[in-house]
Every structure is written in C-alpha cells, then in structure tokens.
C-alpha cells in the first residue's frame, strides 16, 4: 500500500505588491496588484509504506507548502493528494489521527504545563487507550531518554530536550506516517545522533513511513535511501541517494597548497588533455582539482613533478556539495 | 461525548497551570474581585442619578445590566479570540491546531479559555438579586432553566459575532480595528432598546443582535410582556448566529494560507 500518493499537485498563492508613494498607496485601496505565485508546481510522487524519504530543497522551494498540503493544513489549488488512503483536507479530523507531525521551529507542546501533562492531553485528543499508551510510550520515553524531563514545564527545557519531547508527543498515537519538518534544526551532534537512531528504530519496529525535510544533508545520509529534490516548486530529482552520488559525485577532489602563488593558466596547461577542473581556494596558493578517480595519480605526479607543494588533501565529494552543484545547474542529468 | 471529555481535560490542565503560580493566582483573584467591586460601586453611583428612562425605572435598568454581565462573562471566559489574527494566523499557531483530530474552532476556544472572567457573572448576579429584590420580582421554579437558556443564547450571539469577525483573518491578513469597534457596539445591548432610534433598534435586533444579550431576555424576568416574544427568541438567535459563524469558520479554514517561514 502506498502511504502517500500525489498527482499533479499544485498550490498557488496570491502575492500582493504595493505601489510606491502616497498616490500609489491610494490606488492600492481600489485595485491591488497581485501576482500568482506557484509555490508547488504540478508535482507527482508516491511513497510506499515503510519508506524513509528525504524531502530537500532550498528555502522557498516549496517543501513546507508540500508538507502542509500532505498534512491537511493547506488546501491544494489543484491536483490529487491521497495520504493513508484519505484526502487530507477533506477528512481532516479522521485523517490527522493517522499521522504524526513535528515542526522543528514550532512547538507542539503546551508551554506552561509539564511535559507529561501535554502528553496526557494529547493522549485524550488522539483517543489512545491506557494500555496502548503504556505499552508504546514507555518504550518511546525510555529510548529518547526523556523520563527525567516529564515533570518539567516545556519552557524550562533546552532545545535538545524539547525536541526529543516533541518527537515523543508526535508518536503518542503510534501513527503509521510521520512528517518531520526540520527536526534537527539547531541541535547539537549528540542529540542529532540520538534522534536519528530513534527514527531508524521505530521505522524498523513499526514499519513507520517517514517524510523528512531538512537542511542538514547528514540527516538524509543517515536515514533516507530515497531523496526527492525540489527547486522552484518542481521536483528535479526523485530517486536513491546512492544513484545521485554516483552520477554527480564521481571523482575526487585534491587540494594542493603550493609553496608559491599559482594561476589558473599554468595549472590548465599542466593538466592539458586530462579531464580536470581547477578551483581557486581561499588563498592564492591553494587550488583544488576535481578529477575522476582514475586520473588521480596522473594529476598528482604532474603537479608534484613541476612545482613544490606544502600540503595536499584528497577528499570525496560530499553530498552537500553534490546538491549545491545540482542547484547551481538547476536540473539533474543522467 | 468525546468533545465533553476533551473539554474537561483541557479545563483540568488550565486549572493546573493556574495553580502552579499560587501567588499569581491569589493576586489575580483579589484584583479581579476588586475590579468587579469598583464596577459595582460605579454602576450604583451612575444609576443613582437616573430615576426614569423611557418608562424604565433605575432598578430595571440595573437589572438589565446585571443580566447582561452573565452571558458576557460566559463569552469572555470561552471566546477569548480577540487576538486570533495575531496569535494563530500571523504566528502560525493554526498549523499546529490543524494537525490535531479535534475541530479547529473548538481547540482554539479551549486553548484560550480564561475562566476567571466568570467572576464578572457573579457580579452580574449580585446586581440582579439586588435590583430584583427592590423590584419585588417573583420567580417561578422554571425561571432558573430559562435563565440558563437565555444566558447560553446570549453568549452564543456574542460568540457568533466575534468568531465571524475572527474568520476575516483567513481572508485578509491585515489587522483590522473592527474588533474594538464591535465591543463598543455590543455595549448598546445592555440598555433598554426603546430608547434608541428605529434603525439602531433594528440593527441591534437582527443584524448585530446584541439586544438579545441584555435587554430582551432580561425583560422576561422583569415581567415586561410586550418583549416576551423577543425574549424567547434569544436561544434561537444564539444558535443561528453561532451556526453562521461556524460555517464561516469552516469556509475560512479552507482558505488558510499558513504562516510563511
């Protein structure tokens, strides 16, 4: 069964612009200029039950808008959305009982009351029975290590503590589908690791589908086999992370720190005939060569033979860099 | 049934929050009580100088005012939505509300509950008892039920008007000054309706029916037979206006744009 089915989904917003000056403001009173902005532009994809999918894109690419349509917060302009076999905005109240949502920048918990009181309220709201709650949440609370935090009010928690509680709160009704919007934003490494580990665990244990948006590519690398990449409201890549790396991350980077300053022309001439691109580093004597792995020895030997170097580093191309490259070019080829 | 139990769960949480700040609670309680007392004294002083207004005696006017305070207090305790635009639309709290399996308006009401407003109702009842005693009003056993019905009707009318106003935020995110204006208009309902011009009377009866919050239902208890028809319309008007507001709300939620981040 598919957890999420999206077909030609579109969301348009009217964006009003105001004219300049007093006369402009006066004219705005009667007729306002507006543009229609397509935040999400005819996207289609499906997510199978149990998949963990990374949904990535730059700010304003339409990630949040998509998530909000999938969770029933926003009504789509056109297109089809079926999530957990339901139409999110039409059957909102029945539908949201089957999903869990965490917005990293917005608290789901009540600020003034103790965490366990928030849980108790949510338990009531989601109509979870005492036995189910106990069986499921005892485990969640233990794994996320939030037992000692339960009797503290949310406003007294640190960001990392709060985030773990948010995650637990989103799982009170043990939903088959979990939406996480920037769940690790601003968290330190240890908390991040703990959260990732926890997400993996519930995915294995309950076959929970997880859709995750994040700016932190390492989240995606750790959790998701599949990524959907969005740019200006359109899907520009949908497939495995592995394949993305193979197509884009082929080759290695070698960073040379030369003893003297170097120019691009000299280096180009040096590696003439080889498939190498050079990029200038922060200083005039630091240059990075990007070359297929097979050519690596050749490049190094040519450089070292002619010029004296102080230092040399060989790096894999990071996923982050791959994604940045894709955004710079706009489309994914291959 | 589910909604009732959710309601009590929220109420319990609300109490717990309040009880957490014991000192605050005490101060708040005392200051609420004081402000109600000041209100009371002020009223008695003001009405001490009027004896007759369009055939209404001082005590009758006072009684209407006392009655008005009760539905108004119920409204104030549960429909604290004057900052809905700011809190839920601009700050995007509505996102959270919409991801929970309870009707969104019901959640907003529960989250913004302010039970201490109910104290105003106590003041209202004191005024009613005081004015009623001086008027030698006789009550039937069923009047208490009618009272509750009228109070609920009045509170629903208030709620209907203000919820409808709050839904404007779904269509336009600009802040409007309609809310405070409406609070002013709503005050007209607490005076005898026949002191106003025909047009205003019509408006206060059918368009912004604030007369149903004060003068109409109160006339029933004052034994003013000419207003009985209107008095019994109170709960019906309440249900109609609140239903319209819920309808507008539901339509508005579909247009909700979310807060940009």
Give A-chain residues touching B90 at CB under 8 angstroms.
Answer: none
Among B2, B20, B95, whose Cβ lies nearest the Cβ of A73? B95
Give A-chain residues touching B257 at CB under 8 angstroms.
Answer: 13, 74
Question: What is the spatial order of strands in the sheet that A2-17 belongs to?
Answer: A33-48, A2-17, A78-83
- Report the alpha-carbon distance of residue B56 to residue B75 in Å, rounded: 27
Structure tokens at B86: 């700011």
CB atoms within 10 A of CB A161: 19
Pairwise CB contact (< 8 Å): A74 & B258: yes
Identify which has the larger pLDDT, A1 or A88.
A88
Structure tokens at A213: 């948006």
Confidence of residue A196 (pLDDT cuts 50, 70, 90): very high
Instruction: Enumerate residues 78 to 117 of chain A having a beta carbon within 8 A of any beta carbon in chain B.
Output: 89, 92-94, 96-97, 99, 101, 103, 105-108, 110, 112-113, 117
User: Hey, which residues does A40 pair with through a beta bridge?
Assistant: A11
- Is residue A334 over pLDDT 50? no
Pairwise CB contact (< 8 Å): A121 & B5: no
- Report the alpha-carbon distance of residue A219 to residue A83 in Å, rounded: 24
A2-246 belongs to CATH 3.40.50.300: yes
Close Cβ partners of A58 (under 8 Å, ≥ 6 residues apart): A231, A327
Structure tokens at B20: 């957490």
- Is residue A173 over pLDDT 90? yes
Tell me the CATH number for domain A250-316. Answer: 3.30.70.980
Report, as ranges of residue numbers, the positions in chain B whose pLDDT lies below 70: 50-51, 173-176, 259-261
- Report the alpha-carbon distance of residue B94 to residue B96 in Å, rounded: 5
Q: Quote the pLDDT of residue A315.
A: 79
Confidence of residue A303 (pLDDT cuts 50, 70, 90): confident
Identify which has the larger pLDDT, B179 or A233.
A233
Chain A's closest residue to B17, CA to CA, is: A113
Give A-chain residues touching B19 at CB under 8 angstroms.
Answer: none
Pairwise CB contact (< 8 Å): A73 & B5: no
Identify which has the larger pLDDT, A292 or A100.
A100
Query: Looking at the complex, does the CB of residue B98 fall below 8 Å from at least one CB of chain A?
Result: yes
- Is residue A47 over pLDDT 70? yes
Give B-chain residues touching A99 at CB under 8 angstroms.
Answer: 99
Query: Looking at the complex, does the CB of residue B99 fall below 8 Å from at least one CB of chain A?
Result: yes
Identify which has the larger pLDDT, B233 or A288.
B233
- Is residue A72 over pLDDT 80? yes
- Report the alpha-carbon distance of residue A233 to residue A40 in Å, rounded: 4
Arithmetic mean of pLDDT over chain A: 86
Among A65, A74, A96, whose Cβ lies nearest the Cβ of B100? A96
Q: Quote the pLDDT of residue B249.
A: 96
Pairwise CB contact (< 8 Å): B256 & A101: no
Q: Are A263 and A246 in contact (CB under 8 A)?
A: no
- Is residue A316 over pLDDT 50? yes
Give B-chain residues touching A117 at CB under 8 angstroms.
Answer: 13, 16
Pairwise CB contact (< 8 Å): B101 & A93: yes
Rounded to an integer, the average pLDDT of A290-298 is 80
Q: Quote the pLDDT of residue B260.
A: 55
| Burial category of B49 from C-beta neighbours within 10 Å (exposed 0-12, middle 13-18, buried 19 and up) | exposed
- Angle, helix B2-20 to helix A115-125, in steps of 10 degrees: 170
- Report the alpha-carbon distance of residue B114 to residue A127 in Å, rounded: 25
Query: Looking at the complex, does the CB of residue B92 fall below 8 Å from at least one CB of chain A?
Result: yes
Pairwise CB contact (< 8 Å): B258 & A124: no
Close Cβ partners of A183 (under 8 Å, ≥ 6 residues apart): A102, A104, A163, A167, A195, A212, A214, A219
Confidence of residue A57 (pLDDT cuts 50, 70, 90): confident
Which of A21-30, A185-194, A238-247, A308-317 has the highest average model confidence (pLDDT)?
A185-194
Half-sphere exposure of B250 (CA within 13 A, CB side): 11
For chains A and B, count residue pairs whose Cβ atoms are closer than 8 Å: 72
Answer yes or no: is the ipTM higher than 0.85.
Answer: no
Q: Are A83 and A177 in contact (CB under 8 A)?
A: yes
Q: Quote the pLDDT of residue B261.
A: 45
Share of chain A above pLDDT 90, in %: 41
CB atoms within 10 A of CB A61: 22
- Report the alpha-carbon distance of residue A197 to residue B134 in Å, rounded: 74
- Is residue A99 over pLDDT 90? yes
- Is residue A211 over pLDDT 80? yes
pLDDT digits (tens, 9 = 90+) for A103-146: 887 888 888 888 999 999 999 999 999 999 999 999 999 989 99
Query: Looking at the complex, does the CB of residue B174 fall below 8 Å from at least one CB of chain A?
Result: no
Pairwise CB contact (< 8 Å): A125 & B96: no
Chain A's closest residue to B102, CA to CA, is: A93
pLDDT digits (tens, 9 = 90+) for A246-280: 776 667 788 888 888 888 888 888 888 777 888 88
- Report the alpha-carbon distance of residue B225 to residue B231 in Å, rounded: 10
Chain B's closest residue to A127, CA to CA, is: B2
Delimit the domains of chain A by residue range. Answer: 2-246, 250-316
Identify which has the larger pLDDT, A324 or A306.
A306
Q: Quote the pLDDT of residue A332.
A: 54
Distance from CA of A71 to the nearest CA of B (A): 7
């Amino acid at each position: 069964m598919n957890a999420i089915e999206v077909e030609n989904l579109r969301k348009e917003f009217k964006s009003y612009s105001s004219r300049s000056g007093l006369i402009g403001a006066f004219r705005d009173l009667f007729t306002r200029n507006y543009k229609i902005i397509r935040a999400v532009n005819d996207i289609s994809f499906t997510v199978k039950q149990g998949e963990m999918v990374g949904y990535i894109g730059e700010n304003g690419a339409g990630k949040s808008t998509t998530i909000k349509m999938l969770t029933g917060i926003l009504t789509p302009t056109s297109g089809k959305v079926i999530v957990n076999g339901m139409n999110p905005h039409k059957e909102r109240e029945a539908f949201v009982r089957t999903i869990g949502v965490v917005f990293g920048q917005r608290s789901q918990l009540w600020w003034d009351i103790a965490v366990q009181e928030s849980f108790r309220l949510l338990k009531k709201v989601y109509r979870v029975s005492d036995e189910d709650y106990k069986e499921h949440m005892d485990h969640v609370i233990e794994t996320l290590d939030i037992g000692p935090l339960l009797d503290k009010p949310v406003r007294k928690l640190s960001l990392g503590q709060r985030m773990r509680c948010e995650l637990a709160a989103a799982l009170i009704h043990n939903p088959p589908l979990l939406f996480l919007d920037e769940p690790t934003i601003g968290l330190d490494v240890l908390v991040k690791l703990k959260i990732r580990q926890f997400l993996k665990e519930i995915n294995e244990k309950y076959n929970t589908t997880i859709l995750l948006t994040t700016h932190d590519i390492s989240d995606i690398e750790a959790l998701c086999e599949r990524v959907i990449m969005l740019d200006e409201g359109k899907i520009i890549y949908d497939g495995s992370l592995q394949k993305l790396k193979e197509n884009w991350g082929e080759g290695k980077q070698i960073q040379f720190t030369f003893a003297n300053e170097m120019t691009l022309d000299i280096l180009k001439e040096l590696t003439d005939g080889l498939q190498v691109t050079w990029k200038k580093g922060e200083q005039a004597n630091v240059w990075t060569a990007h070359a297929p792995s097979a050519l690596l020895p050749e490049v190094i030997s040519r450089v070292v033979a002619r010029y004296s170097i102080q230092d040399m580093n060989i790096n894999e191309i990071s996923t982050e860099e791959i994604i940045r490259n894709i955004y710079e070019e706009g489309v994914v080829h291959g | 049934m589910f909604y009732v139990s959710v309601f009590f769960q929220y109420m319990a949480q609300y109490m717990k929050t309040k009880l957490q700040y014991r000192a605050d609670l005490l101060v708040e309680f005392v200051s609420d009580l004081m402000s109600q007392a000041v209100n009371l004294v002020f009223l008695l002083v003001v009405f001490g100088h009027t004896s007759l207004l369009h055939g209404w005696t001082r005590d009758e006017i006072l009684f209407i005012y006392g009655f008005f305070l009760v539905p108004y207090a119920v409204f104030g305790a549960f429909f604290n939505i004057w900052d809905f635009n700011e809190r839920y639309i601009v700050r995007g709290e509505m996102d959270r509300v919409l991801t929970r399996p309870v009707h969104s308006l019901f959640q907003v009401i529960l989250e913004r509950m302010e039970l201490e407003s109910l104290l105003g109702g106590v003041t209202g009842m004191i005024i009613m008892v005081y004015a009623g005693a001086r008027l030698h009003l006789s009550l039937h056993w069923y009047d208490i039920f009618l009272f509750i019905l009228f109070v609920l009707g009045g509170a629903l009318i208030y709620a209907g008007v203000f919820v409808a106003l709050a839904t404007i935020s779904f269509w336009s995110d600009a802040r409007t000054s309609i809310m405070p204006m409406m609070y002013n208009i709503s005050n007209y309902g607490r005076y005898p309706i026949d002191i106003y011009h025909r047009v205003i009377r019509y408006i206060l009866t059918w368009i912004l029916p604030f007369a149903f919050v004060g003068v109409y239902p109160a006339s029933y208890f004052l034994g003013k037979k000419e207003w009985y028809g209107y008095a019994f319309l109170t709960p019906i008007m309440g249900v109609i206006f609140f239903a319209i507001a819920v309808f507008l709300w539901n339509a508005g939620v579909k247009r909700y744009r979310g807060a940009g981040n």
